[in-house]
Structures are given as C-alpha cells and as structure tokens.
Amino acid sequence: MSKEKIQEPDPKVIPMNPDAMSYLGWFMSDSQNLRSWGMSIFSVDSYIDSKQFIENKSALEIALTEIEDDVVKIREFLSQYK
C-alpha cells in the first residue's frame, strides 16, 4: 500500500481587521445615541418649536447619519470577504 500525499487546498486566511472593529464599535455607540435621542423625542409630548425639541431632533439626525456612514463602511469591509 503506497502512501500518497494528499494535497489539501490552501485555506484563505483573512487577517484581523482593526479598522472594521473600530467601525463596529462606532456603529454600536452611534446606535445607542440614536436610541437615546429618539427616546427624548418619541416618548414624550413635545412642542416642535421648542429649543429642546429642535436640539434633540438635530442630534437624532446626526446620529442617524453617522449610523448610515458606519453601515456603508462596514459593508465595504465585508465585501472584501469573497
């Protein structure tokens, strides 16, 4: 019986991606900010012309934009894994 050397395919090793990990952390932080600002708007009766409401709405919109940016970047990282 001969011992044939079975050649196994080389696994594709993908190194750790610290930038992607950073974006995941920022995504989680931005999500928490979105939740907090959203609760300050949606969980109470508000005067839409009040200074507090306008500031909270602006902060909510900023958090939402940051989440959208995070998701785009995370998708870019994920597309590298083919």
Residue 28: CB atoms within 10 Å:
12
In a domain, 29, yes or no: yes
The confidence band for 15, taking pLDDT boundaries of 50, 70 and 90, is confident
**Dist CA 74 CA 22 (whole Å):** 10
Q: Which domain holds residue 37?
A: 18-79
- What is the mean pLDDT of the segment spanning 1-14? 71
Is the pLDDT at 5 greater than 90, yes or no? no
Tally of domains in the chain = 1
**Dist CA 75 CA 17 (whole Å):** 13
pLDDT tens-digit readout, 34-81: 999 999 999 999 899 999 999 999 999 999 999 999 999 999 999 988
In a domain, 8, yes or no: no
In a domain, 47, yes or no: yes
In a domain, 11, yes or no: no
In a domain, 10, yes or no: no
Contacts of 57 (CB under 8 A, 6+ apart): 41
In a domain, 36, yes or no: yes
In a domain, 50, yes or no: yes
In a domain, 37, yes or no: yes
